[in-house]
Amino acid sequence: MATPHINAEKGDFAPAVLMPGDPKRAERMAQMLMPDAKVVSDVRGIKAFTGTVDGKPLSIMASGMGQPSLGIYATELFTQFDVQRIIRVGTCGGLSEKVKVGDVVIANGAHYEGVMNTYLIPQTHFSAVASYNLVKAAAEAAGDDPDVVVAPVISRDRFYNVPAEVNDAAAKVGTAGAEMESGALYGIASLYGKEALTVLTVSDHMTVPGQDMTAEERETNFVKALKLAVAAALS
């Protein structure tokens, strides 16, 4: 049945959903991957597409920006539309000097700066981690590509006004990049017994200046990350 945010019916979504943040990127992914894609939801300008890749069903739907927005869609997909796994495909700002702009990060965990996961285990800091089998599938698809790393990211509810010492501390403990969705996605998947993964392209660097992608490059330079995300989604 339709929800306030998704005007689809049960059966309209595949068991696996790719979830970029940008609606334009979602549409572009659908066009690239699924010639038979059909629009199954279009509430608030967030279109969802379902089709097949190599004969296997797949859906693509944007999350919008930030963990509250993703939290709405992920919760409804998991609880109302029988979705079993969501793979976020997006961008992050690089933190570790071990990654450079254009690299791909398979996020095996997400340090979480917000509050959405605080209720999951009372008086305990929840560990927001990806589903192992999805991490494994994406890593195997990457092979020995030196421009792909498996590492944690940090998920934030703010984009601006992050103190430099916070970024430095995150980088010091091996955090590959910063973004705004994965912590909530991993928490929600755990809550409902589902699977989740994030695969990110490093679009700029917070500790090594002068490497930023343009807005156009952010929209188009996601092919490698998309390939790994599809491998995980259909594994």
Tokens in use for 223?
A: 């092919």
CB 14 within 8 A of CB 40: no
CB 199 within 8 A of CB 232: yes
Separation between Cα atoms, residue 235 and residue 27, nearest integer Å: 22
Residue partners of 222: CB distance under 8 A and separation at least 6: 20, 25, 29, 89, 91, 201
Tokens in use for 67?
A: 């963990």
Q: Which of 22, 144, 204, 212 is catalytic?
A: 204
Give yes or no: 204 in active site. yes
Domain count, the chain: 1
Separation between Cα atoms, residue 22 and residue 19, nearest integer Å: 9
- On whether residue 94 sits in a domain, the answer given is yes
CB 142 within 8 A of CB 228: yes
Separation between Cα atoms, residue 35 and residue 184, nearest integer Å: 31
- On whether residue 8 sits in a domain, the answer given is no
- On whether residue 10 sits in a domain, the answer given is no
- pLDDT at residue 219, as a whole number: 61
The residue range of the domain holding 156 is: 16-234
- CA neighbor of 36 nearest in space, from 21, 55, 23, 20: 55
Q: pLDDT by residue (tens digit) across 145-164?
A: 999 999 999 999 999 999 99
- On whether residue 40 sits in a domain, the answer given is yes
Please report, in tens digits, the pLDDT of each residue of the chain (235 residues total). 688 899 999 999 999 999 999 999 999 999 999 999 999 999 998 999 999 999 999 999 999 999 999 999 999 999 999 999 999 999 999 999 999 999 999 999 999 987 888 888 888 889 999 999 999 999 999 999 999 999 999 999 999 999 999 999 999 999 999 999 999 999 999 999 999 999 999 999 987 776 677 766 666 667 999 999 999 999 9
- On whether residue 170 sits in a domain, the answer given is yes
The enclosing domain of 56 has a CATH number of 3.40.50.1580
Q: Is 27 exposed, middle or buried (0-12, 13-18, 19+ CB in 10 A)?
A: middle
- On whether residue 2 sits in a domain, the answer given is no
Separation between Cα atoms, residue 182 and residue 47, nearest integer Å: 21
- pLDDT at residue 230, as a whole number: 98
Is the Cα dihedral 80, 72, 214, 154 positive or negative? negative
